[in-house]
């Protein structure tokens, strides 16, 4: 079964369940809702090249840089900080040295070309699915480390889904957010536990994503397991 078909099945199932709940005769009584296990809807993506994996483990911001490269975004301060961190960790190349000294008004085309040169110097090519998976993993780690809330994390990846034309990696997060916020039939919309349960489900989704794609984890979060 393809990932797209799996997503479609659980979305349709949730809608059907909600419709049947509304059609039940008599007074609606509170009922326990069993939410789907996030791990059931997550699958592994292609592993990153070995040389890229080493950088992902040691240099924060690599996933973000890869994503912005595939989106052809302009240079940012975080890109320069990444270059400095690369030099500190021993990943020194002529391109990395150049990036560390570039100005923020660098021509976007020249910046994109420089990143391409850097990746070749480091010994790997950037594939969009790998880049986006690295970015999603970096956001997941920020959530699990308390640097972002789960809703902020999902918000960032939902925005990435839209800007990337619903890339396969980000699209899963888009469907998952829609599922937990709009399609799960809650017995009582005013239940004060609803936000807590939703946040807990989203957090488990991030955990399951990293568990299914362990090669994208940083050394810091890998050591926590």
Q: For 93-134, write each residue's pLDDT tens digit.
A: 999 999 999 999 999 999 999 999 999 999 999 999 999 999
Q: Are residues 144 and 191 in the same domain?
A: yes
Least confident interval from 13-17, 23-27, 119-123: 23-27
Q: Are residues 145 and 200 in the same domain?
A: yes
Would you give the DSSP letter of residue 48? P
Least confident interval from 139-143, 160-164, 187-191: 187-191
Q: Are residues 149 and 80 in the same domain?
A: no
Q: Is residue 63 part of a domain?
A: yes
- The string of pLDDT tens digits covering residues 62-105 is 999 999 999 999 999 999 999 999 999 999 999 999 999 999 99
The token duo for 188 is 């009582």
Q: Are residues 109 and 148 in the same domain?
A: no
* Statement: residue 208 has pLDDT above 90: yes
| Number of domain units in the chain | 2
CB atoms within 10 A of CB 213: 22
Cα separation of 75 and 109, whole Å?
Answer: 10
Cα separation of 23 and 21, whole Å?
Answer: 5
Decide if 86 contacts 157 (C-beta within 8 A): no
Provide the mean pLDDT of the chain.
Answer: 84
Q: Is residue 178 part of a domain?
A: yes
Q: Are residues 147 and 93 in the same domain?
A: no
Q: Which residues are CB-neighbours of 102 under 8 A, at least 6 positions away?
A: 75, 80, 111, 114
Q: Are residues 173 and 111 in the same domain?
A: no
Q: Is residue 69 part of a domain?
A: yes
CA distances from 122 to 49, 75, 129, 141 (A): 11, 19, 19, 24
Q: Is residue 149 part of a domain?
A: yes
Q: Are residues 142 and 95 in the same domain?
A: no
pLDDT at 196: 80
What's the count of helices (H) and strands (E) in the chain, helices before strands? 11, 0
Q: What is the pTM of this model?
A: 0.80
Q: Are residues 172 and 107 in the same domain?
A: no
Q: Is residue 225 part of a domain?
A: no
- Helix, strand, coil percentages (3-state) for the chain, rounded to 5, are 65, 0, 35
Cα separation of 66 and 54, whole Å?
Answer: 14
Range of the domain at 75: 58-122
Q: Is residue 23 part of a domain?
A: no
pLDDT at 103: 95
Q: Is residue 181 part of a domain?
A: yes
Q: Is residue 1 part of a domain?
A: no
Q: Are residues 182 and 118 in the same domain?
A: no
């Amino acid at each position: 079964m393809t990932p797209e078909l799996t997503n479609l099945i659980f979305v349709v199932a949730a809608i059907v369940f909600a419709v049947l709940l509304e059609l039940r005769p008599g007074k609606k009584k509170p009922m326990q809702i069993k939410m789907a296990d996030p791990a059931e809807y997550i699958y592994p993506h292609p592993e990153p090249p070995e040389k890229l994996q080493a950088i992902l483990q040691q240099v924060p911001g690599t996933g973000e840089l890869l994503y912005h490269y595939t989106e052809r975004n302009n240079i940012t301060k975080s890109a320069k900080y990444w270059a400095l961190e690369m030099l500190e960790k021993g990943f020194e190349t002529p391109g990395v040295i150049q990036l560390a000294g570039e100005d923020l008004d660098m021509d976007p085309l020249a910046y994109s070309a420089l990143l391409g040169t850097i990746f070749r110097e480091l010994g790997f090519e950037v594939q969009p699915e790998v880049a986006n998976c690295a970015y999603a993993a970096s956001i997941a780690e920020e959530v699990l480390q308390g640097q972002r809330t789960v809703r902020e994390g999902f918000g960032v990846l939902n925005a990435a889904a839209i800007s990337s034309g619903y890339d396969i990696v980000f699209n899963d997060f888009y469907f998952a957010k829609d599922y937990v916020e709009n399609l799960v039939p809650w017995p009582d919309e005013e239940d004060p536990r609803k936000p807590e349960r939703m946040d807990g489900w989203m957090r488990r989704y991030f955990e399951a994503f990293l568990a299914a794609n362990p090669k994208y984890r940083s050394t810091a979060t890998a050591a926590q397991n």
